């Protein structure tokens, strides 16, 4: 029997709450989207496949190894994006959480294969530059994970738009990854609206650096 302070139990509960956050932030509909959380060094928990958000429970989250295979007897089938998440965890030891959404504005940029340009201080803060677009890849294999890792290698952004698909966001924790997904949709919407009014002005790279450094290292309590 697991003890009540078992970190796996609290992580299952946190992951359930974070999935609710995606719904509240209107980043997901029906069963689309998912959050995962690294457990120790070589496991992660992820949303079960095709289960509506309202039906998610801590127990329904699927514990997988870093190849994306469930490790517990009788577990539900993991999200169809499980291999993409697994690839990210294998190649980015700094990542503790991964989020995937088809949030409307960000995905509209992805559908046009256009990065969201860094024209807002909030973007400089959170993303340290543009939110890049990664390659198109079919769901189900490792190609999506490879696209995420390779695209983010050359960017400070914790979010990437996968062409014709949607958003993947990463973070040191699952909560940080959810925050990046929420912020990604927020700035994608603002920059889109700005575009309707004219051409948004880019921030100077030195200002982006300054804002990013302050927000990442000095902001908050
Ligand atoms: Zn998707």
Return residues with CB closer than 5 A to ligand 1 (ion).
166
CATH number for position 52: 3.40.225.10
At 182, list the tokens.
């929420």
Q: Is residue 174 part of a domain?
A: yes
Between the CA of residue 57 and those of 22, 79, 104, 199, 211, what are the distances in Å? 15, 15, 26, 45, 39
Report pLDDT for 189. 98
Is residue 125 annotated as a catalytic residue, yes or no? Answer: yes
Q: Is residue 1 situated within a structural domain?
A: no
Q: Give CA–CA dist 179/169, Å, rounded.
A: 9
* Residue 89 is a catalytic residue: no
Q: Is residue 194 part of a domain?
A: yes
- Residues contacting 87, CB < 8 A, separation 6+: 142, 144, 145, 146, 148, 149
Evaluate whether residue 58 is within a structural domain. yes
167 C-alpha to ligand 1 centroid (Å): 8
97 contacts 129 by C-beta, under 8 angstroms: no
Confidence at residue 72, expressed as pLDDT on a 0 to 100 scale = 94
- Residue 103: predicted pLDDT: 98
Write out the residue range of the structural domain in which residue 157 sits.
Answer: 7-217
Query: Rounded to the nearest whole angstrom, what is the distance from the C-alpha of residue 122 to the centroid of ligand 1?
Result: 25
154 Cα: distance to centroid of ligand 1 (angstroms): 23
Distances (CA, A) of 124 to 4, 145, 181, 216: 41, 25, 15, 10
pLDDT by residue, tens only, the chain of 221 residues: 555 567 899 999 999 999 999 999 999 999 999 999 999 989 999 999 999 999 999 999 999 999 999 999 999 999 999 999 999 999 999 999 999 999 999 999 999 999 999 999 999 999 999 999 999 999 888 899 999 999 999 999 999 999 999 999 999 999 999 999 999 999 999 999 999 999 999 999 999 999 999 999 888 77
The confidence score (pLDDT) of residue 193 equals 98
pTM, to two decimals: 0.95
Of 125, 186, 207, 209, catalytic: 125
What's the structural domain count of the chain? 1
Expressed in angstroms and rounded, the spacing between residue 42 Cα and the centre of ligand 1 is 24
- Confidence (pLDDT) at 141: 83
Question: Does residue 2 sit within a domain?
Answer: no
């Amino acid at each position: 029997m697991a003890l009540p302070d078992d970190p796996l139990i609290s992580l299952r509960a946190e992951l359930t709450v974070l999935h609710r956050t995606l719904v509240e932030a209107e980043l997901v509909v029906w069963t689309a989207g998912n959050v995962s959380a690294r457990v120790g060094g070589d496991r992660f928990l992820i949303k079960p496949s095709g289960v509506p958000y309202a039906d998610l429970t801590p127990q329904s989250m699927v514990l997988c190894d870093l190849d994306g295979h469930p490790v517990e007897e009788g577990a539900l089938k993991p999200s169809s994006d499980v291999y993409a998440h697994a690839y990210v965890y294998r190649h980015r030891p700094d990542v503790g959480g991964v989020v995937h959404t088809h949030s409307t504005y960000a995905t509209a940029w992805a559908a046009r294969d256009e990065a969201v340009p860094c024209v807002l201080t909030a973007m400089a803060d959170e993303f340290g530059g543009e939110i890049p677009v990664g390659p198109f890849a079919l769901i189900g294999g490792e190609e999506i994970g490879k696209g995420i890792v390779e695209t983010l290698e050359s960017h400070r952004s914790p979010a990437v738009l996968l062409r014709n698909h949607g958003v993947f966001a990463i973070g040191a924790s699952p909560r940080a990854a959810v925050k990046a997904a929420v912020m990604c949709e927020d700035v994608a919407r603002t920059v889109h609206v700005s575009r309707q009014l004219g051409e948004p002005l880019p921030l100077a790279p030195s200002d982006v650096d300054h804002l990013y450094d302050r927000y990442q290292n000095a902001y908050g309590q």
